């Protein structure tokens, strides 16, 4: 419907909108094309570390986590990615004797470090005592959290032996006892959705030589 002199018809409005949309769309396409024409290469860096006793050298995108380095670059898929946010412990590995969440650390931060994953603790024919104890005590069900649990469990016993206090250590001036309370507290960062906790505690107690 055309209105009075100087007024704009509905058809004119629609035509103008369509033209505007076409221009905006073509401008948008142009911007994308420009962005694609100038990709910026990700920054890379060389990193050397010893993984399960073997010296490795890689050139990595500096944003690559230790977890992705192990799984994607070194094909050590025993270490699991659960939350990728430091909340579940599935990605726990031992670095220079201490357990860490490998999803929360960049590979380039570990130049010269010694990394031990579940593959480095033992093998099917030669299990680490903690791996054997997990089997004996049914310390897993689906097994997804198990590599992280075992790495953590091995490091936890070393932490207690080294006299490092925890949240439940009553006298932080004295050496913490090798108790199930200390072990359970220190394992609290490793979540098991299957709920195998009591069996894990029994396995750890056996390796530590104490009563669960």
- Binding residues (CB under 6 A) for ligand FES: these are 81-84, 86-91, 101, 103, 140-146, 192-194, 196
Across-strand partners of 60?
45
Nearer to ligand FES, 108 or 169 (CB): 108
Nearer to ligand FES, 13 or 83 (CB): 83
Give yes or no for a contact between 107 and 62, defined as CB atoms under 8 angstroms apart: no
Picking from 108, 79, 83, 106, the residue whose alpha carbon sits closest to that of residue 94 is 79
Which residues have CB under 8 Å from 143's CB, separation 6+? none
Nearer to ligand FES, 127 or 191 (CB): 191
Minimum CB separation from ligand FES for residue 65, in Å?
Answer: 9
Minimum CB separation from ligand FES for residue 33, in Å?
Answer: 38
Which residues have CB under 8 Å from 197's CB, separation 6+? 184
Minimum CB separation from ligand FES for residue 135, in Å?
Answer: 13
Nearer to ligand FES, 71 or 128 (CB): 71
Q: CA-CA distance, 92 to 98, in Å (whole number)?
A: 10
Roughly what angle, to the nearest 10 degrees, separates helices 197-208 and 129-136? 130
- The 8-class DSSP code of residue 157 comes to H
Minimum CB separation from ligand FES for residue 188, in Å?
Answer: 13
Minimum CB separation from ligand FES for residue 134, in Å?
Answer: 10
Nearer to ligand FES, 50 or 144 (CB): 144
């Amino acid at each position: 419907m055309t209105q009075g002199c100087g007024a704009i018809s509905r058809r004119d409005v629609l035509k103008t909108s369509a033209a505007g949309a076409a221009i905006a769309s073509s401008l948008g396409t142009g911007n994308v094309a420009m962005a694609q024409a100038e990709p910026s290469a990700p920054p890379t860096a060389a990193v050397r570390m010893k993984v399960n006793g073997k010296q490795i050298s890689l050139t990595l995108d500096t944003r690559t986590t230790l977890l992705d380095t192990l799984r994607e670059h070194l094909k050590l898929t025993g270490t699991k990615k659960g939350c990728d946010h430091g909340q579940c412990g599935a990605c726990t590995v031992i670095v220079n004797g201490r357990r860490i969440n490998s999803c929360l650390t960049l590979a380039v931060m570990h130049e010269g470090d010694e990394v031990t994953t579940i593959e480095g603790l033992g093998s099917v024919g030669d299990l680490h005592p903690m791996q054997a104890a997990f089997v004996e005590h049914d310390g897993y069900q689906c097994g997804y959290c198990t590599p992280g649990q075992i790495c953590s469990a091995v490091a936890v016993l070393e932490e207690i032996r080294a006299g490092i206090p925890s949240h439940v250590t009553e006298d932080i001036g004295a050496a913490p006892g090798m108790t199930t309370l200390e072990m359970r507290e220190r394992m609290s960062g490793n979540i098991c959705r299957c709920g195998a906790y009591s069996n894990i505690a029994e396995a750890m107690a056996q390796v530590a030589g104490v009563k669960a």
